[in-house]
Every structure is written in structure tokens, then in C-alpha cells.
């Protein structure tokens, strides 16, 4: 405990670096998944392909991907950019199939009646289709957020600064409290983000009282 109190500034610094690597993949995965999912839904074979690729992508452990990226795109092994890109790919692997399901779950009848009422295609997407797919999308983003925040720590073994550095440093110097602090801080950050997303969902989708507590 005393280690934690003496090193609050270190923990705070790593938390900041952690968020810098975690938030862009979460936001990017969400934003990019919407057009990709719409595209995938427009063709049956494309949808099957996307689902299969996503499943395989998700099976690849994160560290090998962190290692391969510098060789492919010319970044340094310790560059946080590798982490951001790799985690965006994972986020997409999870989010695109989810968004695809979400859009498919919107009833054809509702969309048809919206068109009949005179919604232009863009307005129909933003005002009808997206909000109705919202609960499924939210479920996907929650899983992406929690797993992204947890995976950022793996970069620590390569020397990329994040809360993962507490594990690397802790095991090297034999300080249990440092590792425990890292575990607690990472889990707390993930659960806090998750709670914020649930709250955001309630604000944006008041018709859907977050009764859905389970995850895929």
C-alpha cells in the first residue's frame, strides 16, 4: 500500500499514457464499424467473409501482432502507434459483426414505414436505423472498451509505456504491491469506462432501459 501512496504520480502518468492508447482504438472501431457493417450487409457473401475474417482475427494473440506491425508499417518496436493500430483492428473484428447484426435487427417494417413517411435515405439512417440498432451497438462497444483497456497493458513487455509498465517493473523489482496496483487500476479503468458507456446509453436511448446486463 505504501508503494502506491509514494508513487501516485507514476500511476497517474501511466494512466494518462494508457488512455491515450486505449481511447482512439475504441472510438475508431466504433466509427469505422458503421460504414463497414452497412457495406457488409449489402452483400451476402461479403457478410459471411467479414464474419469469418473477424473470428480469425480475434483468435490472433495481441503480442505477436504488436511485434509484426513495426515490420509491416515501418514504425519502431516501442511506438504506441503499433498498439493503437493493432487494437483498432481487434476492435473492428469485434464491432463489425456486432454492428452488422444490430442493423439487421432493425425491423424492415419500421424502415419501410419511415421511407413511406418521407424520410430521405440519410435522415432515415441517422434518425431511425442508427437509434434502433443502438442497444446492440452499445453492447458491442462495451465489450470493445473493456477488452481494449485490458490489452493495452501487453505493450508493457515491449517497453511501450502504459499501466502495463507496473507489471513489468513490478516483476523485475519484485514489488507485489506495484503489480497489484496495476491490476486494480486497469480493471477499475475498464469497469469505469463500461459504467460510463451504460450511462451514456441511458441518456441517448431513454426508451431502452439498460436491462441487458449480459454480454456476448
* Of 24-32, 62-70, 103-111, 202-210: span binding another protein (CB under 8 A): 62-70
Between 7 and 114, whose beta carbon lies closer to another protein? 7
* 81 lies in the binding site for another protein (CB under 8 A): no
Binding of another protein by 190 (CB under 8 A): yes
Q: Which residues of 148-179 are buried (b: 16+ CB within 10 A; e: fewer)?
A: bbbbbbbbbebebbbbbbbbbbbeeeeeebbb
The smaller minimum CB distance to another protein, of residues 12 and 67, is found at: 67
209 binds another protein (CB under 8 A): no
Nearer to another protein, 33 or 62 (CB): 62
- Shortest distance, position 54 Cβ to another protein, whole Å: 12
Q: What cell was used for 179?
A: 503489480
With CB under 8 A as the contact rule, the residue among 67, 110, 123, 196 that binds another protein is: 67
- Determine the interface stretch with another protein among 25-33, 43-51, 80-88, 154-162 (rule: CB under 8 A): 154-162
| Residues 6 or more apart in contact with residue 199 via CB below 8 angstroms | none
In the stretch 124-143, what mask flags binding to another protein with x, by CB under 8 A?
--------------------
Contact flag: residue 20 with another protein (CB under 8 A): no
**62 binds another protein, rule: CB under 8 A:** yes
Q: Any contact of residue 73 with another protein (CB under 8 A)?
A: no
Q: Distance between CA 123 and CA 10 in Å, rounded? A: 48
Using CB under 8 A, list all residues that contact another protein: 55-56, 58-65, 67-68, 70-71, 77, 146-147, 149-150, 153-154, 156-158, 163-164, 166-168, 170-171, 174, 176, 179-180, 182-183, 186-187, 190-191, 194, 213-215
Amino acid at each position: 500500500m505504501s508503494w502506491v501512496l509514494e508513487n501516485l504520480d507514476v500511476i497517474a502518468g501511466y494512466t494518462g499514457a494508457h488512455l491515450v492508447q486505449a481511447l482512439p482504438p475504441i472510438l475508431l472501431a466504433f466509427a469505422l464499424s458503421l460504414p463497414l457493417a452497412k457495406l457488409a450487409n449489402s452483400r451476402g457473401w461479403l457478410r459471411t467473409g467479414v464474419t469469418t475474417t473477424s473470428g480469425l482475427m480475434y483468435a490472433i494473440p495481441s503480442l505477436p501482432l504488436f511485434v509484426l506491425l513495426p515490420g509491416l508499417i515501418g514504425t519502431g518496436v516501442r511506438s504506441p502507434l503499433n498498439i493503437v493500430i493493432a487494437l483498432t483492428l481487434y476492435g473492428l473484428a469485434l464491432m463489425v459483426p456486432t454492428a452488422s447484426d444490430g442493423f439487421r435487427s432493425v425491423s424492415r417494417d419500421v424502415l419501410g414505414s419511415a421511407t413511406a413517411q418521407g424520410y430521405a435515405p440519410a435522415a432515415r439512417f441517422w434518425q431511425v436505423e442508427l437509434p434502433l440498432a443502438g442497444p446492440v451497438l452499445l453492447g458491442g462497444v462495451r465489450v470493445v472498451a473493456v477488452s481494449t483497456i485490458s490489452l493495452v497493458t501487453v505493450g508493457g513487455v515491449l517497453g511501450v509505456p502504459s499501466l502495463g509498465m507496473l507489471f513489468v517493473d513490478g516483476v523485475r523489482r519484485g514489488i507485489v504491491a506495484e503489480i497489484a496496483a496495476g491490476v486494480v487500476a486497469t480493471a477499475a479503468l475498464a469497469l469505469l469506462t463500461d459504467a460510463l458507456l451504460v450511462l451514456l446509453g441511458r441518456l441517448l436511448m431513454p426508451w431502452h432501459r439498460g436491462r441487458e446486463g449480459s454480454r456476448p
